[in-house]
């Protein structure tokens, strides 16, 4: 009987993310959480001889959020450039999950055409031990460079 060994689960702290804007690539060491989701878009169709509504996939959309520690001005600078010039930034984020204690190995996913939805431009909080900000984004493509290894 097969079962998942606890040691093969992936620790959320064992990973890295990188951002590439133009020719500039840097590690996103300030990320606390990142989640990117693909949602199918479906049309509802009714057909003769079938009383129920059927569904047909007609596309998809990619959205995401990341919570980051408030220690970088990068996203504010990108938003300011858009506000002042109308030039919008599309970039790539590479996410690596790699827990050395897991036999699942490494997974590398690349989000392409990432574009910011909203950015906190200024923040103060007397109750916060560390300032954080939530950054919402969309993306236009996903590549899986390296899938996890099959577990035996």
- The residue whose two tokens read 């690539």 is 25
The CA distance from 22 to 49, in Å, is 54
47 CB burial (10 A radius; 0-12, 13-18, 19+): exposed
For residue 79, give its domain range. 12-144
Number of independent structural domains in the chain: 1
CATH number of 101's domain: 2.30.110.40
Q: Are 58 and 45 in contact (CB under 8 A)?
A: no
Distance of CA 36 to the CA centre of its chain: 3
**What's this model's pTM, rounded to 2 decimal places?**
0.91
Q: What is the pLDDT of residues 73-109, one digit of tens each?
A: 999 999 999 999 999 999 999 999 998 989 898 999 9
Tell me, what DSSP letter sits at residue 28?
Answer: -
Q: What is the pLDDT of residues 41-69, one digit of tens each?
A: 999 999 999 999 999 999 999 999 999 99
- Evaluate whether residue 90 is within a structural domain: yes
Q: What is the pLDDT of residues 121-137, one digit of tens each?
A: 999 999 999 999 999 99
């Amino acid at each position: 009987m097969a079962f998942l060994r606890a040691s093969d689960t992936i620790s959320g702290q064992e990973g890295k993310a990188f951002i590439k804007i133009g020719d500039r690539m840097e590690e996103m060491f300030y990320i606390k959480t990142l989640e990117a989701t693909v949602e199918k878009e479906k049309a509802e169709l009714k057909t003769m001889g079938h009383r129920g509504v059927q569904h047909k996939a007609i596309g998809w959309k990619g959205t995401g959020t990341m919570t980051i520690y408030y220690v970088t001005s990068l996203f504010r600078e990108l938003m300011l450039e858009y506000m002042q010039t109308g030039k919008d930034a599309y970039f790539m984020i590479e996410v690596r999950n790699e827990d050395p204690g897991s036999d699942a190995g490494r997974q590398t996913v690349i989000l392409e055409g990432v574009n910011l939805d909203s950015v906190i431009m200024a923040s103060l909080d007397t109750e916060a031990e560390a300032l954080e900000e939530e950054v919402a984004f969309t993306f236009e493509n996903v590549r899986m460079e390296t899938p996890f290894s099959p577990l035996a």
